[in-house]
Every structure is written in C-alpha cells, then in structure tokens.
Amino acid sequence: MESSYVMVPVPEHLVLKTMEFILGEQGESADEADVVAPSGDDGEAGATVAPDFDHDHVARESGAKYADMPPELVERAYLDSKADGSHRELFDFLAQHPDERLKYGDVADSLGWSKHGLPGVLGTYMRRAERRYGQLRPFHIYKDTTGTWWIWMDSQQAKIIRQLG
C-alpha cells in the first residue's frame, strides 16, 4: 500500500528538531536515531575533505546497522521510488560516487536542492523504509566531531543502482 504524504510548513529553525521528533517515533533516542542534518552551521558547501572515517574517536556512523541493505531490497527501494522523484535522484547521484564520503551541503548543491532539501528527502525515505524495508537504507550517514554530516553509498549498492538506472 502506497503511503501518502502531507506537506507541513515548519519554521526553518525547527526543521532538524522536527526530524528528530519524527525519527524518535521509531523508538530510538535522539542519540541513536538516524537523525539527519544539513552540513555545518553555515550551510555552505565547501571543498569536500572527508574526515578519517576509520577511527571511532572521530565520531560514529549514525545507525550503521541500517545501511546493511541486501541487494534485493536495494533494487526494491530504487524501483519503488518515482522515476522522476527525489529519492531516485539521490540514489542515482550517490551511485555515481560509490564509496565517496560527501558533505550534505555538497550533495544538496549538486542536486540543486536547498540546504534543507536533503534532510527532507532523507526523512521521507526513512519513513518509507520503516514500513517497507525494515528501516534499511542503501547509504550511510555520519556526523563528524565538527557537526558536519556526510553521506555515501557502498560500491555494491551503487553497482545495483547504476544497473537499474
């Protein structure tokens, strides 16, 4: 059954708190939930210099267990997305940059979205994922110690998406 969505105006300064609330409905604390946020305080996309993602002391990946999506669900998540919709646009973009850690702001800029566009798209995807894919997603999200959020897709998921696209 296809879910319908309602656009709700939220003051810009409350977007992240609203997303935290929505994701908190999944039964996780704000610290454990897959909370999404725009890049840095300035929202500006700068040169992408990924932090050292291999060291736990930098920061932890947000909900790493949810990024372990099996191939059949990657395919289903892609095909369930509207052909000209924002989820597919994001999946296609990440698939063209496999294993490349990208700042949220850089992704939003590349796709022509506002700085809050990516968190909105991720929020709608995660609601769908909760109902259809056991909360799994074909990408990783990560917040470094500076508060910058990163996103990337593993090469295995990217290959599946590129074959479908």
Assess if residue 49 is contained within a domain.
Answer: no
Assess if residue 143 is contained within a domain.
Answer: yes
**CA 36, CA 19: separation in Å to the nearest integer?**
7
Using CA of residue 44, residue 99, residue 64, residue 88, what is the dihedral sign?
positive
Assess if residue 104 is contained within a domain.
Answer: yes
- 101 vs 13, higher pLDDT: 101
The mean pLDDT of 115-141, rounded to a whole number, is: 93
Q: Give the 3-state secondary structure of residue 75.
A: helix
pLDDT at 26 over 50: no
pLDDT in tens, 29-74: 434 434 344 344 444 444 444 555 554 433 467 788 899 899 999 9
What pLDDT is stored for residue 42 in this prediction? 41
Assess if residue 75 is contained within a domain.
Answer: yes
Assess if residue 164 is contained within a domain.
Answer: yes
Assess if residue 154 is contained within a domain.
Answer: yes
Assess if residue 102 is contained within a domain.
Answer: yes
pLDDT in tens, 76-118: 999 999 999 999 999 999 999 999 999 999 999 999 999 889 9
DSSP letters, 49-87, are ----TT-TTT--BTTGGGG---HHHHHHHHHHS-TTSHH
**CA 74, CA 32: separation in Å to the nearest integer?**
23
- The residue range of the domain holding 92 is 63-165
- CATH code of 164's domain: 1.10.10.10
Per the structure, the count of domains in the chain is 1
